[in-house]
Amino acid sequence: MTLAVRDLAVRFGGVTALDGVSFDVRAGTITSLIGPNGAGKTTAFNAITGYLRPSGGRVTYDDAPLTGLRPCDVARRGIVRTFQKTSVFPALTVTDNVMIGLHLRGTSGLAAILAGARRVLEEERSLRGRAGEIIALVGLEHRRDHVASALPYGEQRLVELAVALAARPRVLLLDEPAAGMTGVEKDTVSRLIRTIRGLDITVFLVEHDMRLVMGISDVVIVLNHGRVIAEGAPAEIQTHPEVIRAYLGTGGGAAGR
Amino acid sequence: MRARLPSTSLLVALAVVALTAPFWLTNPYWLHVLIMGGIFAVLALSLNLLLGYTGQLSLGHAAFFGIGAYASALTTLKLERSAWEGLALAALLAGLAGWAIGRLALKLRGAYFVLVTISFAGVISLVSVNWMELTNGPLGLPGIPAPELGPWSFRTKRAYYYLVLAAVALSYLVCRRLVGSRIGRAFLALRENEALAESVGIDVTRYLVLAAVISAAMAGVAGGLYAHYTRFVSPEVFLFTYTVTMVIMVVAGGKGTLAGPIVGALLFTALPEALREVTSWQWQMLTYGLILVLLVFFLPRGIVPTLSRLRKSP
């Protein structure tokens, strides 16, 4: 049940974004991927989840290959990601956003839907119930009938999290879940990430906020110039000479946003 | 996605009006307008599935309409089968064309998709003009029989009105069930945020093609209904004007709503006729254009969304 990345390489023309990266995200952990801006973190996410075809290397989950699969098929295997920029279904309500996230949990086919079969209605009702539970989990009950684009930024990020959770991930890839959030909101997010891990979901996150990363991670992987330069527990990473050099040498990217 | 539905009393009132229309609408000309409005309502509903829900603008929708019209006409004239079989074949062939367009346009979105659909309609139109043996070219196919059901014939306007009414009701039901289901939500997800849709496991390819097939099949049925009503089909069914009219109906009525396309279709079928009665021909199209501009300007979201918002906040 390990997400294994081996020799993953991504090149855009002459630019090497990922230069043969290898690491494991072990089941049940909170693993963080950090590194200065432009280190290749989001590129790694895109290559793992099928949004980007890697130039080399492979990704497997539970020993089954993910490389070459389309994003929707990666999601079907239980690898679900969020996006760095706020990404919701803007014109729809929070409930409808989460209902879309529940897509794979529905089984109704075209014929049954057109015939208005009773089990379709029952499935709708049970999905709606689940949507309510997930919305409650991220603490947005009071917003369930609000249109997503009308919510404040921090709450939109929570909607995003709810949509991803609805897709029943086994590994959840979070791309800067706390970016641009206030201190209080960041605390909410780190509490949520712990709750999510408690639900038997492995969490793999890219994040700039070091306090958050060091506070919740079991394993931290450091990327610089497309290579892994360190991997270990937060305490080891904080004192790792190479990591310190990478951050200070590139102009203090560790300050985050 | 819980579709906002009109209240039951409003629905019942509308049903009564629709069912009794041929009895109080004594002028046969207006009954004809109503029948054409119904055929356009099916077309607008079908276009709305693509434009309003998946967010893809198809400017070749007249092609599916025309394919349906020819398919149904030829089934009765050349194969000498019933009009019902003709309508089924119309749905099938138009659906097949929709599948091809859906596959072709997968890699193309936005302006490119629009161009592909326009070209497709252009090609099909040329085929209908030049394949003389099959389509009789620009002369068209006259003498298409009216549908018959046991002892009844749908030869009269009044009977045909009910056939079209049933088709509108069925199309509405199909749209309503789809929109309220996981399939309809997948369509909406494509319109709203494709990358996010993929990240939760929605197969963009599959749902885009599915929407195109259903939409095209519905337009094909509308074409068949048109053929058996006017009893004559010519390459004019592929005119770009038909497509533009459909887009106007969907946008003015309210895209992405269930009732919008029907309201738009009835309004924009009746409007030119009403204007013909009150103004001279020079002013007719000018007034039509002016009304359209004003509508889009003041009700940019369409008639139905504006009305339902007024009703919610009196």
Residues of B in contact with A91 (CB under 8 A): 192
Q: Does B309 touch chain A (CB under 8 A)?
A: no
Q: What is the average pLDDT across A72-81? A: 95
User: CB burial class (10 A; 0-12, 13-18, 19+) of residue B292?
Assistant: middle
Q: Say if residue A1 is in the same domain as residue A72.
A: yes
What integer pLDDT is reported at residue A255 of this predicted model? 44
Q: What is the average pLDDT across A88-102? A: 96
> Would you say residue A84 lies in a domain?
no
Cα separation, B306 vs B112, in Å, equals 31
Q: Say if residue A25 is in the same domain as residue A101.
A: no
> Would you say residue A182 lies in a domain?
yes
Helix (H, G, I), strand (E, B) or coil at A216: helix
CATH (domain of A74): 3.40.50.300
- End-to-end Cα distance, chain A: 34
Residue A169 predicted with pLDDT over 80: yes
DSSP readout, B122-153?
A: HHHHHHHHH-HHHH-GGG-B--PPPPEETTEE
Interface contact flag, A113 B185, Cβ < 8 Å: no
Q: Say if residue A93 is in the same domain as residue A193.
A: no
Half-sphere exposure of A18 (CA within 13 A, CB side): 27
Confidence of residue A70 (pLDDT cuts 50, 70, 90): very high
Last residue of a domain, one of A111, A138, A167: A167
Residue B43 has which token pair?
Answer: 């077309």
Q: What is the average pLDDT across A90-101? A: 96
Give me the residue from A113, A163, A167 closest to B177, CB to CB.
A113
Q: Say if residue A244 is in the same domain as residue A187.
A: yes
Interface contact flag, B198 A90, Cβ < 8 Å: no
Q: Say if residue A97 is in the same domain as residue A111.
A: yes
Q: What is the average pLDDT across A217-226? A: 93
Name the minimum distance, in Å, from the CA of A173 to any CA of chain B: 10
What integer pLDDT is reported at residue B1 of this predicted model? 42
Phi-psi region of A63 (alpha: psi -120 to 50; beta: other; left: phi over 0): left
Q: Say if residue A113 is in the same domain as residue A10.
A: no
Q: Say if residue A50 is in the same domain as residue A174.
A: yes
Q: Say if residue A130 is in the same domain as residue A240.
A: no
- A171-175 β-sheet, strand order: A79-81, A171-175, A202-206, A30-34, A219-224, A227-232
Q: Say if residue A34 is in the same domain as residue A63.
A: yes
Cα separation, A79 vs A4, in Å, equals 12
What integer pLDDT is reported at residue B6 of this predicted model? 59
Half-sphere exposure of A14 (CA within 13 A, CB side): 0
Q: Say if residue A144 is in the same domain as residue A248.
A: no
Last residue of a domain, one of A141, A167, A193: A167
Residues of A in contact with B186 (CB under 8 A): 100, 103
Query: Which residues 55-74 in chain A show a CB within 8 A of chain B?
Result: 70-72
Number of domains in chain A: 2
| Domain range enclosing A214 | 1-78+169-257
> Would you say residue A185 lies in a domain?
yes
Q: Say if residue A187 is in the same domain as residue A137.
A: no
Cα separation, A25 vs B57, in Å, equals 43
What integer pLDDT is reported at residue B154 of this predicted model? 87
Q: Which residues of chain B have pLDDT under 50?
A: 1-3
Nearest CA to B92 out of B72, B122, B76 is that of B72
Nearest CA to A219 out of A210, A211, A231 is that of A231
Choose from B191, B196, B255 for mutation: most chain A CBs within 10 A: B196
Prediction ipTM score: 0.90
> Would you say residue A44 lies in a domain?
yes
> Would you say residue A124 lies in a domain?
yes
Last residue of a domain, one of A140, A167, A194: A167
Give me the residue from B1, B198, B203 closest to A99, CB to CB.
B1
Q: What is the pTM of this model?
A: 0.90
Question: Are the beta carbons of A97 and A147 closer than 8 angstroms?
Answer: no
Q: Say if residue A151 is in the same domain as residue A190.
A: no
Q: Which residue has the higher pLDDT, B105 or A212?
A: A212
Query: Which residues 195-224 in chain B show a CB within 8 A of chain A?
Result: 195-204, 210
What integer pLDDT is reported at residue B5 of this predicted model? 55
Residues of B in contact with A124 (CB under 8 A): 180-181
> Would you say residue A114 lies in a domain?
yes
What integer pLDDT is reported at residue A32 of this predicted model? 95
Query: Which residues 8-37 in chain B show a CB within 8 A of chain A?
Result: none
Question: Are the beta carbons of A142 and A136 closer than 8 angstroms?
Answer: no
> Would you say residue A46 lies in a domain?
yes
For all residues of chain B together, what is the average pLDDT? Answer: 89
